[in-house]
Amino acid sequence: MVTPETPIENLLRVGKVTSKKLQNLGLRTAEDLLFYFPFRYEDWSKILPISQMTYGTVGTCRGRVELIKNTRSFHKRKNITEALISDNSGSIKVVWFNQPFLTKILKVGNEIFLSGKVDFDRYGIHLTSPSYEKVDAKGETIHTARIVPVYRTTESLTNKQIRFLVKLVAPLASKVHDWLPVEVKKDIGLIDLNQALKQIHFPENINLVKAARHRLKFNELFLVQLQNLLLKNNLQKSVAPKIIFHEEETKKFTTALSFKLTNGQRQAAWEILQDVEAGKPMNRLLEGDVGSGKTIVAAIAVLNVFLNGYKTMLMAPTEILARQHYNTFRNLFSGLNMRVGLVTRSEKKMNRENGEKNNDAEFIINNSDLVIGTHALIQDGVEINKLGLAIVDEQHRFGVKQRQALKGNKENPHFLSMTATPIPRTMSLAFYGDLDISVMKELPVGRKKILTKVVPPEKRGAAYEFVKKEIKNGRQVFVICPLIDPSDKLGVKSAKEEYKKLSREIFPELKIGLLHGKMKSEEKERVMREFLENKINILVSTSVVEVGVDVPNATIMMIEGAERFGLAQLHQFRGRVGRLDFQSYCFLFSDSDGEEAAKRLLVMTTCNDGFVLAEKDLEFRGPGEIWGVRQSGMPDLQIATLADYAIIKEAKTAAENFVKEDPDLVKYPDLRDKLGNFLGKVHLE
C-alpha cells in the first residue's frame, strides 16, 4: 500500500537508477510526486476518425494494429519501426525512429490510441513518432486521448515514466488534509485541495486545469503573505531603542559634505529617522539605483544612533566591499570621536585616537561605535552590547534566524537593508510585505549618462582602439567575463583566457589585472588596491565586482558574453563606472546571434533606469535573473510566479484580513501548522 511517506524507490518500476534520477528532481517520497506539478499541458483530448487524420492534422486517433515491423534505413543506418493502424473509417501508416523495442510492446490486434502530427514525405502520409498507449478495459489513458501533463525532467528520465508514477500516487490526493479555511475558499471561489491535486495532474477539461492552478498558486502566495504579516506584527510588539533625532548635529554633518543631498536622499533619511525614533524595531529596505547615494543616507542614521549612545553593525557580502565601507565611513566621521572597526577573515583593524594596537576581533567589536564586516560578524554567538542598528548591504533578504543572531540587547536593534538592485512591484508585493521600503531614483546632480553600445564582432577592433585612447588619457577599464576557467561545453569566454589574450595580444604594453572569486582574500585585496591606485590599467574580472566596488577613475565597462547576464545584473556592472565627472561607456559583447538575446541587449542601450530594467528582466527571464544568481531569500515556489499579480493581491488581502481578525491564528490551528511546515521547507533565511 502506497502512503505519503513511501520512499520513491519502493514504488512500482522504480529501480536504483530511476530512483537516483527522481531524487535529483527533489522527489524522495510518494507525497513529493503528488506535489510535483506539470509546467504545461498538451491537449490530445479530441479523438478523430482515422479518415480525418489528413496531412497537417495534430490530434488523436484510435485503431487496431494491423501490421508492425522494424526496418533499417540504408543511408543513415537508423532503426525504423513501421505500423499500419486501422479503424472503421480507414487506415494510417505510423513511423517511429530508433525505437525497435516497440515491436515487443505493440502486437497485431492491439487497440491503441495515437497522438501526434500527420506528416507527408517519402514515407507517404503518416504519423511521425506519435505518443502511443494501449486501450485498457476501462478505456482510461495517461499519455494520450486527454489533456496530458508535461513535467520537467532530467537525465533521460521521460515524461511517460513520471506520469506513470504520478498516476500510482494520485489516490493519495483524496487523503490530503485541506488546511485552507472554508471562508477563504468561499470568498475567492477556490476549489478544494483534494480536487486541485487530482485535476492538476490529470484534468478532465481545461477549465479545471485553470481552477487547480489558481488554488495551488494561491496556497503558496497566501502562506508567503501570512508569514510576512506575522513577522511584521511580531516586530511591532517588540521594543527597540528610541533613537532621538539630533537635528543640529545632523545639519552640521550634511552641510559639511562636498555635495548637496538629493530630494530622494533627504526623504529616505527622514523615513529612517522617524522609524528609529518610534521605539519599535525598524525593518526597512533602502532601495536605490546604482550611484544614488545610499551610503550617505545610512551614514545619517549611523550618526544619530551614535549620538544616542548606541552602536551600529554594518554587514557587507564581500571583504572588498566591507573594506570600502570602512574607508568611506572613517572619512565621513573623521571630525567625530567615533570608533570605526573592521572585522573580516583577512583583516581586523580600528581607528583609535589613543593609538591602541589591539587587533583582536572581540576587542574591536566590543569597543567600536560602528563595526563593519562580512556576515562572519553574526557567527559564533557574537554579542554587541547596546546594538541600536544593524545594516546589511546588498543582502536582499535577511531572515528570522539571522535577525535572532543579532545578540547583545534586551531591546531589538533596528534593521536597515540596502540594495542597488531595484525590485519590481510584483516582487515587492509578493515577498517583501514585512519590510517598509524607501526608494531613491534620483542620481546626484552632474552625474553623466553612461553611453552603452552593443559591439558587433567587426567593431571589436575599433572598441580596443577606443580603450587605448581612454587609458592614454589616464582612465581605467573593467572587463567582465561570465566564467573563471574556460569551458568547452558552454563556449563562453572565461576571465583567465581573456586575461591572457588581452595581456599578450591586444594590450601587451598595458598593465592588466585579474580578479575572480577563487582567489585568496589577500590576493583579491591586493589586486583591487592596485586598481584603485591606478597601478592596473585594465581589470579582467568575473561578477565579483558587481556589488558596490567603487573605482572613480574607471570610465569603460566591457562585458563579454553579455547575453548570459540578466539586465539588472548588466546594469549593476555598468554602475561601476561613471562615478566622477568623466564621460563613461559600457560596451556589450555577445556570443549569441539569437534574436531574443539581441532584443534584450538593445534595451540596455536605450535605458539607464534600473527600475525599468528590473521589470524588463522579470518579463524576459523571470525573478532568478533579477539578482543574477538564485537568492536564498527567494521562496522556492513550485507553481506560483511573479506574473500572478492578481493572485498575489488576492492572497495579500486574505492574509491581512486573517491577521487583523486573529493575529495568533488561535482559531485556525491547521493553518498555523501548515505555515510552520512551509517556513521549514522554503528557505526564507
Give the tens place of pLDDT for each residue, 105-160: 999 999 999 999 999 987 789 999 999 999 988 878 999 999 999 999 987 899 99
C-alpha span between 7 and 339 (Å, rounded): 57
- Tell me 354's DSSP state: T
Looking at residue 394, its pLDDT comes to 73
Number of neighbours of residue 232 by Cβ within 10 angstroms: 15
Task: Give the H/E segment covering residue 668.
Answer: none
Say which residue the cell 490510441 belongs to.
113
Q: How far apart are CA 375 and CA 397, in angstroms?
A: 13
Rounded to an integer, what distance in angstroms lies between the CA atom of residue 52 and that of residue 236? 68
Q: What is the pLDDT of residues 83-108, one digit of tens each?
A: 999 999 999 999 999 999 999 999 99
The 10s digit of each residue's pLDDT in 397-408 is 455 455 555 544
Read off the amino acid at residue 511.
K
Of 551 and 267, the one with more pLDDT:
267
64 contacts 110 by C-beta, under 8 angstroms: yes
- Give alpha helix (H) positions in 65-101: none
Distance CA 295, CA 322 (A): 12
Please tell me the distance from the alpha carbon of residue 385 to that of residue 310, in angstroms, as a whole number: 9
Spatial strand order of the sheet with 414-419 comes to 348-350, 340-343, 370-373, 311-315, 387-393, 414-419, 283-288, 436-440
Measured distance CA(623)–CA(617) in Å, rounded: 8
Q: What separation in angstroms does the CA of 588 have from each of 17, 56, 108, 337, 597?
A: 44, 43, 60, 46, 12
User: Is the predicted pLDDT of residue 212 greater than 90, yes or no?
Assistant: yes
For residues 33 and 436, the model is more confident at 33
* Angle separating helix axes 610-621 and 595-606, nearest 10 degrees: 170
* Confidence tier at 354 by pLDDT (50, 70, 90): very low
Return the amino acid letter for 256. A
Alpha-carbon dihedral 61, 63, 67, 71, rounded to 10 degrees: 20
Nine-digit cell at 556?
A: 569603460
Residues 6+ apart with CB under 8 A from 596: 620
In one-letter notation, the amino acid at residue 397 is: R
Q: Residue 352 pLDDT > 80, yes or no?
A: no
> Distance between CA atoms of 262 and 293, rounded to whole angstroms?
9
Predicted local confidence at residue 158, as pLDDT: 93
- Report the run of H or E that residue 403 belongs to, with start and end: helix 400-404
Residue 69 has φ and ψ, to the nearest 5°, of -155, 160
Q: What is the pLDDT of residue 500?
A: 93
Q: How far apart are the C-alpha atoms of 490 and 502, rounded to whole Å? A: 21
pLDDT in tens, 165-191: 999 999 999 999 999 999 999 999 999
**Can you spell out the DSSP letters for 449-480?**
PPEEEE--GGGHHHHHHHHHHHHHTT-EEEEE
For residue 635, give the DSSP letter: -
Give the distance, in angstroms, between the CA of residue 363 and the centroid of all CA atoms in the same chain: 38
Distance from C-alpha of 493 to C-alpha of 504, rounded to nearest angstrom: 16
Task: Report the pLDDT averaged over residues 420-436.
Answer: 75
Average pLDDT over the chain reads 86
d(CA 13, CA 149): 20
Q: What is the pLDDT confidence band of residue 631, given thresholds at 50, 70 and 90?
A: very low
3-state secondary structure 132-199: EEECCCCCCCCCCCCEEEECCCCCCCCHHHHHHHHHHHHHHHHHCCCCCCHHHHHHHCCCCHHHHHHH
Q: Check if the beta carbon of residue 71 is closer than 8 Å to that of residue 105.
A: no
What proportion of the chain, given as a percentage, has pLDDT over 90?
A: 55
Domains of the chain (ranges; CATH) run 1-43+153-172 (1.10.150), 46-145 (2.40.50.140), 247-440 (3.40.50.300), 451-607 (3.40.50.300)
More confident residue, 234 or 376: 234
pLDDT surpasses 80 at 409: no
Residue 571 vs residue 591, higher pLDDT? 571
Across the range 334-348, mean pLDDT stands at 87
Terminal CA-CA length for the chain: 37
DSSP string, 517-578: TTS-HHHHHHHHHHHHTTS-SEEEE-GGGSSS---TTEEEEEETTGGGS-HHHHHHHHTTS-
Band (pLDDT 50/70/90 cuts) for residue 636 is low
Three-point CA angle 231, 236, 238, nearest 5°: 100
- pLDDT surpassing 90 at residue 237: no
Question: Among residues 99, 26, 114, which one has the least CA distance to residue 62?
Answer: 114
What secondary structure does DSSP assign to 473-491, as a single string?
TT-EEEEE-SBSS-BTTTT
Rounded-to-integer distance, Cα 393 and Cα 626, Å: 17
Tell me the pLDDT band of 627, cut-offs 50, 70 and 90: very low
Give the chain's count of helices (H) and strands (E).
22, 23
Among 437, 434, 435, 436, CA closest to 228: 434
Closest CA to 291 of 576, 668, 623, 642: 576
d(CA 81, CA 94): 8
